[in-house]
DNA sequence: CTGAAAGCGCTTACAG
DNA sequence: CTGAAAGCGCTTACAG
């Protein structure tokens, strides 16, 4: 396997009869090269099949044109789709997205936010689950963009998310409009101003406004936002004899698990119990019945996260971007107005 | 944002009162350092919070301890799960897995297989979809491990997959055992010895052996292995008035799409039509009815792929590893023997 | 507009 | 066992 040495900038320079610096100027599109020279260099690049080695730049310091996307899991289809589309979108802009699975392990999240990784990145886009909010503020670390979670006291940290409080209110309005009075909320968490707590806050405010019972039994906490936990928690609620006529699940996986439990117990969805989730994962459209879900404008979310990640630190840093959402009505909620 | 400079090997050396080389020796666990010196260096690393910068090594050449995993899409839950678990498994071995989405674009696959990427890797584990088999043989490129696809004439390229022909025969045996005679195959492709063609080959051999019709109408090609294509192709079959009593879909997404089409048309699954897929994605267990599927031993597959990727080129290179599979019987096929 | 030098962090021979 | 030198590919000041 005689590894034919990779073509370097020097080979190109020699082939084109210029210095490396000139090749570097051409590759980086700096407008200081004569047209004729530029063409000669580009032809040499073409002929030799030169691909710039980013490691040289990385070591030199300065921009790596790479962004880490840290997600808790790829097994959640929402994050899988986000990762795929963000990588493709970044590629179109000439950036690389390095997808990192944290499994919700604090130490992994911490290392990325602090920039203590084996290879440098320009910014970290993270959906944190285990990290204490205070730890997200790292002076001297890479630029950080938060997905979902919100940090009150972190002006340097950008934040991109839908309006979770408002979307929960939208969900409650839909259900109350269909006469539902006993709404179960699945998925609350302890942490400060997270996706889960915001959705719960909106749920609480809207149900109170609607004059529904604030029965504490109707708010259920799960460990993981998975189908399994949704299924088991729903079964537990049914077995405890708690009567509900709608389920508001913190994400689609929980909702799908709840749906399965309801079907197994022979409860009619949506006639007896309606179900709603968040994320609009592809599976939502294919479940039976199909699942009503809050869909974020994913293209906007990705664009905003990349913009925030790539913005030079300055006024844009620390921006709060609210992404539009849409409540997609499907078979798991009653049809009609 | 006074970016406090990252701690380098020199800082550690100064702090411990040794030369860098000694720190390098400690970090790389070379057994040439006195115990006492080693302890002092380790303490310095601890105190300064030193994390080795891999970029230095990468530039130097030699092993990067990084493997690229190139998958067509993360939107397919099979690849999302594979990527997550392979990244975690590699991390445990001290390696990094860089997940790259190809979207089935030949140029992207080609760049990875040739090693013409911005940053070097030790090996590429790829599930190719667009690349011509001949192109997978790149002298002087990185080590290549193929998932699924098989290349007859490529002794240097390792291959890890279940026995697709045998698993298709298993599926046919199950269906024929329940008296099914009109088996539809969804998902054949043109390319040479791919996952799809092997499954089709096994299907053809087994149905012939069972003495079923070899009706050409019962083999249907789809463009993408998605729920959408499975759904539309199944509808087309039903609308053409082609009578079938079982569907063998090339993967679970196709099967789930077909399932949805059958439900929509009011056909009873599995009583009238049974459905089987491959991959055993999480969704298979949650569909209604739940989906019978061929499950690869994913841990074994990941371990074999990593072993092949990390093996020094030599006798192990070019190994064919056959991974065990299991036909998981669920609600979409009749129960009983 | 182009050339020669220095240096990013690390490892690999080469001396002691 | 430890130290000083060279170099991986690139970019950033600095001269011409």
CA distances from A292 to A13, A222, A255, A256, B265 (A): 59, 21, 9, 10, 22
- Residue with structure tokens 């073509």? A7
Q: Which of B264, B292, B256, B261 is nearest to B276 (CA)?
A: B292
Nearest to A75 by CA among A303, A227, A220, A232: A227
Helical pair B77-92 and B298-310, crossing angle rounded to 10 deg: 60
Which of A251-260, A307-316, A321-330 is predicted with the least confidence, judged by mean pLDDT? A307-316
Q: Nearest C-alpha of chain A: how many angstroms from B119?
A: 6
As beta bridge partners, residue B325 has: B296
Element (H, E) at B68: strand B66-71
Q: Do B75 and A81 touch (CB under 8 A)?
A: yes
Whether A4 contacts chain B with CB within 8 A: yes
Mean pLDDT of B214-223: 93
Q: What confidence tier does A152 reach under pLDDT thresholds 50, 70, 90?
A: low
Closest to A227 measured CA to CA, from A184, A267, A258: A258
pLDDT at B152 over 70: no
Cross-chain residue pair B1–A140, CB shorter than 8 Å: yes
Structure tokens at B93: 């071995």
Gap between the Cα atoms of B249 and A297, Å rounded: 32
A256 interaction partners in chain B (CB closer than 8 Å): 286
What strands lie across the sheet with A96-101, from one edge to the other? A96-101, A66-71, A123-126, A143-147, A158-162, A320-323
Q: Tens digits of per-residue pLDDT, A8-27?
A: 888 888 888 888 888 888 88
Q: What pLDDT is attached to residue A261?
A: 98
pLDDT band at B6 (very low <50, low <70, confident <90, very high): confident
Contact residues for strand C with beta carbon within 7 Å? A 18-19, 21-22, 25, 31-34, 37, 56, 59-61; B 5-6, 8-10, 20-21, 24, 27-28, 52-53, 55-57, 59-60, 62
pTM of the predicted structure, to 2 decimals: 0.94
pLDDT at residue B156 tops 80: no
Half-sphere exposure of A284 (CA within 13 A, CB side): 28
Task: Name which of A56, A101, A119 is nearest B87 (Cβ-Cβ).
Answer: A101
The CA–C1' separation of A47 and C12, in angstroms, is 33
pLDDT > 70: percent of chain A: 93
DSSP string, B138-150: -TTS-EEEEES--
Q: What is the pLDDT of residues B40-97, one digit of tens each?
A: 888 888 888 888 899 999 998 888 999 999 999 999 999 999 999 999 999 999 999 9
Tell me how far the alpha carbon of residue A227 is from its chain's centroid: 19
Q: How many CA atoms lie within 13 A of A193 on its CB side?
A: 14
Residues of B in contact with A313 (CB under 8 A): 1
Question: A187's torsion region: left (phi>0), alpha (psi -120 to 50) or beta?
Answer: left
Model confidence at A163, in pLDDT bands (50, 70, 90)? very high
Q: What is the mean pLDDT of residues B9-14?
A: 86
How large is the C-alpha radius of gyration of chain A? 25
Reading the block at residue B277, the tokens are 């897929």
Measured between beta carbons, which residues in chain B are less than 8 angstroms from residue A99? 74, 83, 99
pLDDT above 90 (res A136): no
Per DSSP, B214 falls in state: -
Within the 283-302 window of chain A, which residues sit less than 8 Å (CB to CB) from chain B? 283, 286-288
Q: Which contiguous run of DSSP H or E holds residue A97?
A: strand A96-101
């Amino acid at each position: 396997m005689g590894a034919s040495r990779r073509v370097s900038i020097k080979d190109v320079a020699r082939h084109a009869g210029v210095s490396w610096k000139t090749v570097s100027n051409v590759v980086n599109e700096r407008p200081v090269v004569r047209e004729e020279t530029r063409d000669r260099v580009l032809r040499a690049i073409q002929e030799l099949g030169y691909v710039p080695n980013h490691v040289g730049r990385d070591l030199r310091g300065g921009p790596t044109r790479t962004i880490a996307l840290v997600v808790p899991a790829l097994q959640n289809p929402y994050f899988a789709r986000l990762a795929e589309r963000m990588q493709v979108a970044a590629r179109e802009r000439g950036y690389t997205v390095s997808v990192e699975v944290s499994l919700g392990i604090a130490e992994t999240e911490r290392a990325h936010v602090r920039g203590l990784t084996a290879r440098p990145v320009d910014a970290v886009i993270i959906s944190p689950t285990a990290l204490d909010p205070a730890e997200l503020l790292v002076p001297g670390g890479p630029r950080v963009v938060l997905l979902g979670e919100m940090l009150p006291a972190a002006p340097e940290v950008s934040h991109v998310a839908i309006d979770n409080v408002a979307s929960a209110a939208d969900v409650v309005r839909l259900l109350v409009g269909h006469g539902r009075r006993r709404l179960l909320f699945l998925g609350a968490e302890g942490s400060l101003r997270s996706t889960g707590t915001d959705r719960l806050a909106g749920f609480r405010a809207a149900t109170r406004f609607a004059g529904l019972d604030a029965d504490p039994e109707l708010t259920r906490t799960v460990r993981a936002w998975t189908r399994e936990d949704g299924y088991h928690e729903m079964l537990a609620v049914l077995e405890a004899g708690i009567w509900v006529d709608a389920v508001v699940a913190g994400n689609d996986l929980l909702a799908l698990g709840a749906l399965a439990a309801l079907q197994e117990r022979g409860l009619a969805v949506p006639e007896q119990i309606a179900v709603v989730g968040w994320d609009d994962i592809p599976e939502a459209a294919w479940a039976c019945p199909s699942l009503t879900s809050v869909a974020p404008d994913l293209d906007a979310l990705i664009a905003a996260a990349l913009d925030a990640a790539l913005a030079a630190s300055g006024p844009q840093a620390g921006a709060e971007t609210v992404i539009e959402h849409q409540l997609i009505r499907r078979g798991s909620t009653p049809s009609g107005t």
